[in-house]
Structure 1
Amino acid sequence: MSLNRPIIDLDEGWAQMEIGIAKLKRILADEPRVSFVSDEYMHLYTTIYNMCTQKSPHDYSQQLYDKYRGAFDDYVTFTKHGEFLLRELVLRWKNHKVMVRWLCRFFHYLDRYFITRRSLPALKSVGWESFKTLAFDELKATVTTILITMVDKDRDGQIIDRTLVKNVLDIYIELGHDPARNQSAPDPPYEKDFEDAFRQGTIDYYSKKAQTWIVEDTCPEYMLKAEMCLQKEKERVAHYLHSSTEPKLMEAAQGELLARHIDQILKKENSGCKVLLCNEKVEDLSRMFRLFSRIKDGLPPVSKTFQEHVNEVGMSLLKQAVDAAASKKNEKRDVVSALELDYVRKILDLHDKYMAYVINSFQNHTLFHKALKEAFEVVCNKDVAGCTSAELFASYCDSILRKGGIEKLSDEAIEGNLEKARKKLGRRLLFDKNGNDELERSLLAKLKQYFGGQFTSKMEGMLTDIILAKDNQTKYEKYISRNPELHPSVDLSVQVLTTGYWPTYKSSEINLPSEMVKCVEVFKGFYQSVTKYRKMNWIYSLGNCNIIGRFELKPIELIVTTYQGALLLLFNESERLSFSEIVTQLNLSEDDTVRVLHSLSCGKYKILNKEPNSRTISPNDVFEFNHKFTDKMRRIKVQLPPSDEKKKVIDDVNKDRRFAIDAALVRIMKSRKIMTHQNLVAECVEQLSRMFKPDIKMIKRRIEDLITREYLERDKDSANSYRYLA
């Protein structure tokens, strides 16, 4: 290799580079039969290399770095408008990235040495910044306005080019990322130049819609529209918005559709919350709960309305009983008693009715339990014909138990009522740590005096078991302290129950983790040393435990059932476990496993990640420990869903799908105005197939429902076609 390499002058060398750059632009413009050959590429690379490695004053590294930046200046001019401007922007950005990639290859020597030594922005970053400064910053306000207009058209049911919207938004996102350092730039364009304006656009759009709907529609119609809109906004994120937009978008939409109009929705004349309660519109009440649970302080007004309604109905029953007793005051006492006991029956039926609302429509929420309790406290603290509610309920119990009493019930019904009382007592004794044993004993003593020892014998035995359990626990702890070699790695508390006294509890055999097995074995040894004539059967379904979850951000104490704890401890040995592996290792029934996995992966606390991500548990699912889980509390209780949770979740999914089908049908018909049944069903299936496989029968039912609600009508000229009603 010759050491006397000829000097390349700056103007001479850059003239050669300009020829190469001009050819690159022709290639990007899709001129036919224009391409680079390897010799041309090597010549351009070598030219830059030579100009950067010449001795001073002929080292032109800095000048070439500046000229590289200027190479993009005349490439980023735009002439089109509207959606055509967006298409041109997408094409230019695509070509610009290709151009940056090629020029980075030509100027690669700068990146390797000159830029590294001077700590200058890398060539790729300079190329990105050139497009942003020379093109994007000039157009961003116009482009953002066009995008928001297109989204509003999408919201109105018009067909837009969603791929185009996504491609443009990808430019915002890419320009907010430094490609050389692989990190986000300060004030990323997506957040600063699009997201803020889009959020305000969303507020403006739904503000106008809500003001119209709140006047024109009934409460159920308004809520259905709001729910459909919120569902479509979620879909919108999946189609073309960045996932980080979802919480801000939903907050804006929910604020305008729900939070701003909560009083108007709840108190809507002839269709508000009280009317829905009076007319037993369970489905609409469920929708109301789902919607208002999304917004801050949304549920208290609903629970207050529920409480007021229950109180009014209860007070109405009370007034009827008082009036009836007053009209019969001169008649026989047993006639009056019959009226009073009829009132008790109605009150009990009323409580059962609204408890069903709390459990089903209001998803067992504590606010509604509290509202129901306080409403009945007001009613039950009133007297009827000189008798307190306590006396009336005591008389009612007496009539159930007394042979030949007023309340004629079968033996099975009486036994059922008693079993309910015993189960309630069992739950209080086992799980209410703040319960008052003295009050329980005092009540049992009175019941024993009134009804006899046989009536209270089992319940007295339950109380005795609880007292003995406390003594046993003290003895167990002393036993452990005397035998430190037996001390298990975790603390254990056990309640020994006498089989004949307590209700029957479901028990499943389960393969306990080694930590729990040692605890059980040590307690068995202790108990055999105390008594040799009693056999122990462990009821793991009633157990609970506290375990520490060591997550990335902080450790969190988890209060879980024995089943949940045993399942979580499996992940100490394996990062990922399939559903079938969990069932096999725990030796737990599939139904119980589904309930436990649902509580840990689909409920409020996502302690396990599930694949695929859905609201139901299936045998094909795979689970892994969620190391990124966190919560503002350092101690949380993970509730286990009721045994019918699987069916409930499926029902919820079907409800959600029904709303999605409604939204798709309305959107299609709004844009097409008239369609045949076959075409409408086919297009609905096509639109929804990205989310789930819709059931054809369900689509037919939703069409009929939309006709009933006057969103659609059958075409008078063609019975197999539908028309959209504005």
Structure 2
Amino acid sequence: PVGFRRRATRPEAAMAPLGGLGTGSRGPNGAAPVRRLTIKLTKAPPRPPDGFEEEAWTSLSAAIDAIHDKTSSVRSEHKTPVPSYETLYRSVEDVCVHKKAPWLFDKLREKLKTRVGARVRELKSSYENSVGMDPVAFLCAFDTAWRDHCDAVDTTRRVFLYLDRMRVAGGVNDEFRARAANQTRSGNDALFAEPRSIWDVGVRLFRDALVGDEETTETTANDSPSKARLARAAAAAARAESNSGTGGDSVSRGQSVSQKTAHSGVGTKSFDAARLASQGALLLIAKERSGESKDSRGLLRRATRAFAALGVYAATFEPMFLEQTAVFYAREGDDLSVALTPFEYGAHCETRLREELNLCDDALDASTKKTCARVVAKHLVEKHLQRMLDEGFTKAFKENRVGDIARFFQLAKRCGGGSGGGGLETITKTTKDQREALASTLTDASNSSTKFVDAVRRAFGVSLRSLGTEIVKDEQREKDMVMRLLTLKSLADDAVHRAFESGETFVATNREAFEHFVNQRGNKPPELIAKFVDSKLRASSAKAAGTSENDSSSFVAIDHDAETEKALDGALSLFRHVQGKDAFEAFYKRDLAKRLLLGKSASVDAEKSFIGKLKAECGAQFTAKLEGMFKDVDASRDLMRAYNESLLGSKTKQNDDDEDAQGKTAPLKEIETYVNVLTAGSWPTYTALTLRLPLPLERARDAYASFYLGKHSGRKLAWLDSLGHCVLRARFDKGEKELCTSTFQAAVLLLFNDFESLTAKAVVEKTGMDDGECRRTLQSLACGKTRVLTKTPKGREILDDDVFTVNGSFTEKLFRVKVNSIQMKETEKETDETNERVFQDRQYQIDACLVRIMKTRRATTHASLVAETFAQISFPAKPVDVKKRIESLIEREYLE
């Protein structure tokens, strides 16, 4: 509001001396006399004629009537001419300047009261004279009356603008100033305090004429309008809660409770304009909820703003609106939750919440938005959320329907009063008692919302454990176990980040679920994860065949694509959940040894990168032996370089003219030899198999042994022929080929340089191999995909009398051909041996754990000792194993 101050008196005039014009005495220096200005006080200002204010009021009253009657020049009753707006404004100013402002304000208020009363009586008579008047029609009449009233008051205020400004500012009049002070001291609520502005007077008069003194009496009895509002809100909530569970059959889905109340009120002809208009607004909302047009939003918006201005929004409309909302959505939830699928019903709930929030934004007061959302969530979502989760969550998770999962989560956050944000701001703007009450309410709402969010979290955990356990225990598809687990991991992580907003509780549930089912089958998951890593780091057969396997180029890094890196990261994420990390280390080390020794590694950089990740995950001790394997490979490369240099400097020569020697033994320098010297403690344990090498290979091996032992005296070399491989150059009818074979295959093929044909029994005798190993080797050479030998008679089974000869008609597109070995069902044997070694290592850990516990406890029961041991060890174990270790310690007198 704009205030006015009195104009200050000019200082010059205030300080001027009194007197007339004339010559004064000369100055001390004989100067000219000083002129003096004399100001003569005028007479008292002229007083206005008697009765001027009444005359002015007559014109102003006529203008007010013309404004309300919407006539431009004269009143129809008295034919009094209406002056111009400027003349009217000057009349108001003259009255106020002559200290008649309070009188004029009282006259204006009485005039407005008369005009407003006539307008409301006209509205009432239109309702009483119409039989069965529709609430919407009454709302339209109410809207028209309110808009006409607002236009009239606004125009009146512009005429009385000078008075309005004095009134708002407290005025220069002592009476206005006293009234303003009394209003400030006694007014607890702006709505019920004495209005200052003409606009507020007009609104108050319309409200009093519309609803009478009932609200004022109620407010006085409760000492505070806020208490009355809280009481009404509590009563409305109680009615909504009651009606939501017991709504009668007479109220259909498309009909609101307000319709029933409105039509029952017509018969009694009781006139409650606020309630009737509210019922009309609720009928519009009910029609909109039933799918009818939203063209009535403008009328609804104007009506609710009128309710708020008149002070009946919170007292009358809002409780009725919340009660109708509760009844409508309780019934709709009961109907649709059964008729629709969980996904359809969830989408419907989301749509309804969005529609209600849009309704509140477009047409209702901002204070209703949060409460409306809570009511809708309570009756549409809370009662049916568990059913949606039970019937739909697992299916949504399996089908990667992240949108539906996110919808379940967002609906759960809406339940229990959870609406997010605004709570703290609300608390800071209230009194101490109200802050405590609001804080308690918000805390209860937060706890209730957490309860529903926890229901979603539990559904997520149950679904994840069920699907994961099914994958891990499916022995028929265990080859695909890791890939299926990675797919499940991707789905779970995607749901946590996109649907559950990376909530800490959901992250923990995701981790706990994987830890639960990944360890369901003991050492099998770690073994399969190690095999999966091996498949990603192993070079393909084409790459292996195209690379010289005794050359350092076997270890040149190949482009490590992003897909492989992603797969290895996924395997590492599964490895984090494995309790038996020692089992993974054993199987991984076995596969890594084969890749390094057989030249099967696709990329040394990828190998070292993965080991670096294992080191970051488990520590340096976990990867010490794995890093030692790479050190042995690098050291062997340096030794081979020195060995080849020594061969170049030697003077050893072969007799080129000796045809027999040329056919039986190749010169030493023509056999390219590559030897890996392994540290026994870093590499897996291998079983040595007997093999009588051909003389050229025997001589090459002995030459390297002499070189190595000459450099490292006191060491002993144990040869592992089962890990060796050779590249042979063979001449066939259609040209030469290079055959990539194992050492056993090479030993068999070199026999045919001296013999045209051999029986299986003869091959066993000449090579000294184990009978089973020899049969598998012959089978790979004569019965496999690459048939270098021919077998008579044909067939897969190898008998002692079967005859083998070189397949002279052998042909292949590639110059270098890989001859695959036939793996015996030794994989199971190797797996059992690896598991046994893991178990042996774990025994020592269990022994150490038992002794450590007993040193602390000194004495304890057997059951407590077993339970404490399981709590401390980091790998899966059986109670029988722990009991056996306790018995072993007792036998060795560590325990008693």
**TM-score by structure 1 length?**
0.48
**TM-score by structure 2 length?**
0.40
User: Greater CA radius of gyration, 1 or 2?
Assistant: 2
